[in-house]
Amino acid sequence: MSLAYKVKKDDGSVMVGYLVFFYFAWSIKELWLIEYIYAFGEILSPLLESLVKSVIWIVPVWIYVKIHLKADPMSYLKMNVNVMSGVLWGILLSLLLGAGLIMEAYFFDGVSLHFSLSFDDYLNTVIIA
């Protein structure tokens, strides 16, 4: 058995283990933990939900890249390359998408706009997603 085959086989088993852990943690969060998070009130629960979402989605990837791939996560995920260009493109595309959604709601659906979203909606749909 060659070394390349063994490394590839190990990567597959680590990735399957990661996916099982991820889906298990996300299922526990959605089925059980969410009830307890919403018991903290209207202001604290969105912050806790965002924290749990970050811990489940970001921390395991960071650990996988750092420990298993033995690389700097910021460099490996290319999060330190063209940062200002990415921010500008993100702002531009977000404004275009927002303008398109506003025009669709106002012109085609005949609905007036109202910004009475809850803190949870703003945090989870605008900032995090």
| Higher-confidence position of 20 and 10 | 20
Could you tell me the CA-to-CA distances from 45 to 37, 38, 54 in Å, in that order? 5, 5, 14
How many Å apart are CA 89 and CA 84, to the nearest integer? 9
Distance between CA atoms of 98 and 101, rounded to whole angstroms? 5
49-61 per-position pLDDT tens digit: 888 888 888 888 8
Sorted by where each begins, the domain ranges of the chain are 1-80, 82-129
* Torsion angle (degrees, nearest 10) of CA 122, 92, 129, 12: -170
Q: Is the pTM of this model over 0.75?
A: no
Instruction: Grade residue 115 by pLDDT with cuts at 50, 70 and 90.
Output: low
Which has the higher per-residue pLDDT, 34 or 2? Answer: 34
